[in-house]
Amino acid sequence: MALGDVKILEPKNVSSRSFVSEDRTTSSASATIKAGEPCKIRGAEGGNDVIILATGEPLIGTDLFVGIAQAESTETSTVDGTVEILIPTPGITVMRAKATTVTNVDTAAERLGVLNDSVTFDLTAGVFTVDENEGADDNVHGLNIVDVNIDNGDVDFIVRSQACYWGSAL
């Protein structure tokens, strides 16, 4: 996975917590969690540890988005470890990642077309992006686009309270 795919922009004083990262043999993870990767709690899936999100996540009512890894996790193939996670405040903490398809957001009209859309992450070839392609679904998707830089394809977004560690009703 790539280092630093997702960044927290504001506020700069985001809370962090240490979470368990299960050994890779038990969790079937192929690698450690890297700094900048979005994570969720795997509680509903059989553990109380964190794992990285997949394409099409976070989903309201399904995923408990916990935040962005601050540093690489410490688990090994046979021993559980920990990972420090920056926990965004829903609706307040602004994060940034590239658009999945930068050419879909490179004009003012395209930018306007995706502002305030509810979307999810895409994970392709080990890189997390914000999937502006999937269309807004306020009842399901856990991220909201708040701005787009049409010059470089950066998407600024917030996590919706219904899909977030600090606000979810899961």
Domains located in the chain, CATH noted: 7-87 (2.40.300), 94-163 (no CATH)
What is the pLDDT at residue 37?
95
Tens of pLDDT, residues 8-41: 999 988 899 999 998 888 777 888 999 999 999 8
Q: Match 């701005």 to its residue by tokens.
A: 147
What is the pLDDT at residue 168?
56
Query: Is this model's pTM higher than 0.85 or not?
Result: yes
What distance in Å separates the CA atoms of residue 142 and residue 140, rounded to the nearest whole number? 7
Tens of pLDDT, residues 123-169: 998 899 999 998 788 899 999 999 999 999 999 999 998 888 766 55
Q: 49, 20 in Cβ contact below 8 A?
A: yes
